[in-house]
Amino acid sequence: MIGGAIALELASAGLNVGLFDRQEPGREASWASAGILSPAPESPAMLPLVPLGKASMALYPAFIQTVEELSGSSTGFRPKGTLQAIVSRSAREELNTIVALHHGLGLPAEPISGPEARELEPALAAEVEAAVLRPAEASVDNRALIQSILQSAQRSGVKLISGTPIDAIWREGTRCLGLISGAEKFASQFTVIATGSFSAGISGASIYAPVRPAKGQMLSLRCEGVPIERVLWSENIYLVPRNDGRILAGATVEYLGFEKTVTLGGISKLSAAATELVPALKDARIEETWAGLRPDSPDHLPILGPVDVEGLLFATGHFRSGVLLTPITAKLVREWITEKNTTLDCRRFSPLRFQAIASAHAGASASSD
Ligand SMILES: Cc1cc2nc3c(=O)[nH]c(=O)nc-3n(C[C@H](O)[C@H](O)[C@H](O)COP(=O)(O)OP(=O)(O)OC[C@H]3O[C@@H](n4cnc5c(N)ncnc54)[C@H](O)[C@@H]3O)c2cc1C
């Protein structure tokens, strides 16, 4: 998704763009995602991401309009807000803390009681004591969005080169000349690596993008007569309604390498948490199960921008927020390439930060020897 959106943005700015993928594009993390658009931080480690998430959220309506118009297909965008349910006995204190945190970050959040939450979402469990309504959040059908982005990109002149695995960055001294696939070299003035969880596998990329996969298992449910309007969260699960009546439930977070097995343990955990939040889902039909690999970086933050090799940029490591961050990532990469500057301060996300950590470690061990 990230690569496709960058390609579209660059082609729209008048550049000649080729989009390489080793398989049919859009079949990895972006396909497996839940498509929730929430700039709220999931943990203190994710706080530096909030300004980027907010900026991307602000771009979303226009981004959706552009790709829907260019592609002629719907993306299932649902700007209906999300609702975070609180079950604990100390619900009132928890509610105040969450709402204060959101307001401190400039994120809209309204505290509501359990009965008010059930008025909005009648399927919620009676045990829900309170809730936080986040009216500015949304969701999108990520699989539909990818197809819209790819069609829009191609209609804007992007050449799609699928079935072409990239093995290495083509580098001469401090200049990137393009990409290498098998015996073939593809020359380009600018090269952007946006290969998600697989970025570290491209020769020459791992020092900038030490990304590792974080597996997430998901399931898709159908249950007639269970109305869910907004994305619902609890501590253990999120439930995401789609326009066609499906309800997605997710997701596990597992560090097991590149395997994508769906396990009984994973699905049992999700099923138990889903029925705890919405008891009527016990009668739901499981329509599909799947797993995907989130591209996680050592500090869980995305890896964005140019490096110390001229003409080479990275846009990877989007971990749990890549769908949310797609429009802003595309915009930033375009700004780096066409304007040599960005409207947002992105130093925190520089791909050079891992080299600094590596050389600090090397220095520390050299001085202690
Ligand atoms: C279960 C799950 C739930 C998620 N939920 C959300 C959510 O609700 N909201 C949200 O914002 N984010 C969510 N995410 C995260 C989000 O999906 C990712 O951050 C995002 O999709 C990353 O996009 P990407 O384009 O970088 O990677 P990918 O979608 O993985 O794409 C990488 C592409 O690179 C190609 N590729 C890889 N190696 C090579 C190579 N050597 N040569 C050529 N091509 C190559 C692949 O074929 C693929 O097409 C979720 C992820 C998972 C797994």
**What's the pLDDT score for residue 362?**
55
Mean of pLDDT values over 169-197: 98
Atom of ligand 1 at shortest range from CA of 325? 11
Q: What is the CA radius of gyration of the chain?
A: 21
DSSP assignment string, 75-136: ---B---EEEEE-STTHHHHHHHHHHHHHHTT---EEEEHHHHHHH-TTS-TT--EEEEETT
Centre of ligand 1 to C-alpha 180, Å, is 22
188 Cβ contact list (under 8 Å, min separation 6): 18, 177, 178, 179, 311
Q: Are 75 and 67 in contact (CB under 8 A)?
A: yes
d(CA 78, CA 39): 15
**What's the pLDDT score for residue 369?**
40
Mean of pLDDT values over 209-221: 98
Q: Are 56 and 39 in contact (CB under 8 A)?
A: yes
pLDDT band, very low/low/confident/very high, at 94 (cuts 50, 70, 90):
confident
- Pairing between β-strand 231-233 and β-strand 82-86 as defined by DSSP bridges: parallel
**251-7-55-352 Cα dihedral, nearest 10 degrees:** 80
Mean of pLDDT values over 196-201: 98
Atom of ligand 1 at shortest range from CA of 199? 38
For the beta carbon of residue 123, count every other beta carbon within 10 angstroms. 19
pLDDT band, very low/low/confident/very high, at 229 (cuts 50, 70, 90):
very high
Is the pLDDT assigned to residue 238 strictly greater than 90?
yes
Is the pLDDT assigned to residue 21 strictly greater than 80?
yes
Is the pLDDT assigned to residue 367 strictly greater than 50?
no
Is the pLDDT assigned to residue 88 strictly greater than 70?
yes
**What's the pLDDT score for residue 365?**
45
Condensed to tens digits (0 to 9), the pLDDT of residues 274-309 reads 999 999 999 999 999 999 999 999 999 999 999 999
75 Cβ contact list (under 8 Å, min separation 6): 64, 67, 68, 140, 141, 144, 145, 148
Total length of the chain: 369
CB distance 316 to ligand 1 below 6 Å:
yes
Mean of pLDDT values over 225-242: 96
CB distance 251 to ligand 1 below 6 Å:
yes
Average pLDDT, the chain: 95
**What's the pLDDT score for residue 363?**
52
d(CA 82, CA 21): 34
Atom of ligand 1 at shortest range from CA of 293? 53
CB distance 202 to ligand 1 below 6 Å:
yes
d(CA 180, CA 274): 46
**What's the pLDDT score for residue 90?**
77
Pocket test for ligand 1, best of 77, 318, 333 (most atoms within 8 A of CB): 318
Which residue's CA is the closest to the ligand 1 atom numbered 41? 166
Atom of ligand 1 at shortest range from CA of 252? 1
DSSP letter assigned to residue 164: -
CB distance 154 to ligand 1 below 6 Å:
no
Atom of ligand 1 at shortest range from CA of 3? 25
Q: How far is CA 278 from the centre of its chain?
A: 25
Which residue's CA is the closest to the ligand 1 atom numbered 21? 30
Is the pLDDT assigned to residue 368 strictly greater than 90?
no
Among 179, 262, 258, smallest CA distance to 218 is for 262
Q: State percent of the chain over pLDDT 90.
A: 91
